[in-house]
C-alpha cells in the first residue's frame, strides 16, 4: 500500500512560516496579512507604478514588496515564480493627485487594501492626473509614516531598544518571532515602509532560517550576532511609539508557536520603551 507524497506549495500556498508576510511590512488586515510577499505580486505592483507614474519609486509599495520577496526567495520559503491568487484576483491600484499645497501624492492598494500614501521626493516628471476611485480596505486609507531623521529622538529610540535587547537576551538563538519583530523594527525606524535587502531584517531572517536547520543551540546564531553595532546598521532612527510596539508585538506573536512575547526580547523591550516615552510626554 503506497503512501501519498506531500505536494510542493503552489500558487498562494506555502508550507513554511518564516516568510515575510504582508502583515509584517504593511498595515493590512484579514487574509492578506497572513500571505507571504511573492515575486509575481511585486512584479504586478512594479508594472502598475510604471504605467501610472512612468517609473518605480524608491520608497513605494513595489520597493517594499521587492525587498521582502528577495528575502523570501533567498530563504527558499517562496518560489521564484510564486504569486498570491487573491492579489491576482483583486489586483493592485496606483493613483496620483495633488494635495492642497500642490505636491504630487501617490496612493497604492493591494488586494483592496490601501497600503501607503506618500509624497515622493523624486516627483519631477510625474504628471498628476485625476485619481481613480480609490480601493478601500476594511480600515480605509492608511498613510505611510513620514521619514524621520536623527533629530527625532524625543525619547527612547528603536535603535536604543535593539541595543538593549542585544545585551539583555544576547545569547538567545534567533527564532522566527525574533526575526519578524526585528524586520518590523527596521521598517518603523526608517519610517517609510522600505526594507533593506542587506539590513537588520534580512540578517535576522537569514539567522532564523539557519537556526531552524541546526540541531544544537551552541551552533545557532544569537540575538547579539544580529544586533551587534545596531547604530551603524540603521540609516535612520526614531522615538518608540505605542503603534511601533503594537506592530512589533503582533508580528512576533504571529511567528511564535506559543503566542507569547519573549521576556526581555525585542517586542517586550519595545513595549516598555513605548510606555516610558508616553509617560514622559508633557
Domain C-terminal end among 95, 118, 141: 118
| In-domain check, residue 129 | no
The total number of structural domains in the chain stands at 2
Grid cell 510606555 is found at 275
C-alpha cell at 88: 491576482
C-alpha cell at 144: 505611510
Domain C-terminal end among 62, 95, 118: 118
| In-domain check, residue 134 | no
The answer on 181 and 82 residing in a single domain is no
| In-domain check, residue 202 | yes
The answer on 274 and 212 residing in a single domain is yes
Q: Which domain holds residue 75?
A: 22-118
C-alpha pair distances (Å), 205 with each of 14, 31, 62, 149: 17, 22, 20, 26
264 conformational bin, left if phi > 0, alpha if psi -120 to 50, beta if neither: left
Residue 138 pLDDT > 50, yes or no?
no
Cβ–Cβ < 8 Å for 83, 12? yes
Q: What is the pLDDT of residue 167?
A: 87
The answer on 271 and 164 residing in a single domain is yes
Report the alpha-carbon distance of residue 15 to residue 7 in Å, rounded.
10
Range from 7-11, 55-59, 137-141 that averages highest in pLDDT:
55-59
Q: What's the average model confidence in pLDDT over 32-53?
A: 88
Cβ–Cβ < 8 Å for 235, 190? yes
Q: What is the pLDDT of residue 154?
A: 66
The answer on 250 and 174 residing in a single domain is yes
Report the alpha-carbon distance of residue 180 to residue 11 in Å, rounded.
23
Report the alpha-carbon distance of residue 167 to residue 190 in Å, rounded.
23
The answer on 201 and 109 residing in a single domain is no
Portion of the chain with pLDDT greater than 90, in percent: 8
How many other CB atoms are found less than 10 A from the CB of residue 206? 18
The answer on 59 and 172 residing in a single domain is no
Cβ–Cβ < 8 Å for 9, 15? yes
| In-domain check, residue 143 | no
Confidence band for 195, pLDDT divided at 50, 70 and 90: low
| In-domain check, residue 65 | yes
The answer on 263 and 197 residing in a single domain is yes
pTM of the model: 0.48
How many other CB atoms are found less than 10 A from the CB of residue 212? 16
Range from 67-76, 144-153, 185-194 that averages highest in pLDDT:
67-76
Residue 153 pLDDT > 60, yes or no?
no
Residue 9 pLDDT > 50, yes or no?
no
The answer on 213 and 102 residing in a single domain is no
Give the residue among 162, 182, 187, 171 at the shortest CA–CA distance from 225. 171
| In-domain check, residue 1 | no
Residue 5 pLDDT > 60, yes or no?
no
The answer on 114 and 162 residing in a single domain is no
Average pLDDT, the chain: 75
| In-domain check, residue 8 | no
The answer on 265 and 173 residing in a single domain is yes
The answer on 166 and 114 residing in a single domain is no
E-strand ranges in the chain read 92-98, 104-110, 113-118
C-alpha cell at 137: 480596505
| In-domain check, residue 88 | yes
Domain C-terminal end among 59, 92, 118: 118
The answer on 271 and 168 residing in a single domain is yes
Residues 205, 185, 247, 11, Cα dihedral to 10°: -30
Amino acid at each position: 500500500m503506497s503512501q501519498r507524497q506531500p505536494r510542493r506549495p503552489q500558487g498562494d500556498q506555502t508550507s513554511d512560516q518564516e516568510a515575510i508576510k504582508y502583515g509584517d511590512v504593511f498595515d493590512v488586515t484579514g487574509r492578506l496579512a497572513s500571505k507571504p510577499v511573492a515575486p509575481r505580486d511585486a512584479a504586478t505592483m512594479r508594472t502598475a507604478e510604471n504605467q501610472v507614474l512612468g517609473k518605480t519609486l524608491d520608497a513605494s509599495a513595489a520597493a517594499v514588496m521587492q525587498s521582502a520577496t528577495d528575502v523570501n526567495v533567498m530563504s527558499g520559503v517562496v518560489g521564484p515564480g510564486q504569486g498570491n491568487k487573491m492579489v491576482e484576483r483583486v489586483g493592485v491600484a496606483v493613483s496620483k493627485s495633488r494635495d492642497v499645497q500642490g505636491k504630487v501624492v501617490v496612493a497604492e492598494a493591494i488586494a483592496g487594501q490601501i497600503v501607503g500614501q506618500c509624497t515622493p521626493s523624486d516627483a519631477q516628471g510625474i504628471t498628476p492626473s485625476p485619481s481613480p476611485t480609490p480601493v478601500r480596505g476594511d480600515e480605509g486609507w492608511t498613510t505611510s509614516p513620514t521619514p524621520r531623521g536623527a533629530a527625532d529622538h524625543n525619547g527612547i529610540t528603536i535603535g536604543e531598544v535593539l541595543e538593549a535587547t542585544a545585551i539583555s537576551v544576547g545569547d538567545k538563538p534567533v527564532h522566527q518571532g525574533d526575526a519578524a519583530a526585528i524586520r518590523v523594527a527596521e521598517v518603523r525606524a526608517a519610517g517609510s515602509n522600505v526594507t533593506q535587502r542587506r539590513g537588520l531584517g534580512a540578517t535576522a531572517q537569514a539567522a532564523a532560517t539557519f537556526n531552524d536547520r541546526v540541531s544544537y543551540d551552541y551552533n545557532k546564531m544569537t540575538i547579539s550576532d544580529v544586533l551587534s553595532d545596531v547604530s551603524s546598521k540603521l540609516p535612520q532612527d526614531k522615538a518608540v511609539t505605542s503603534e511601533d510596539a503594537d506592530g512589533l508585538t503582533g508580528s512576533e506573536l504571529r511567528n511564535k508557536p506559543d503566542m507569547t512575547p519573549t521576556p526581555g526580547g525585542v517586542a517586550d523591550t519595545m513595549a516598555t520603551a513605548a510606555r516610558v516615552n508616553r509617560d514622559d510626554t508633557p
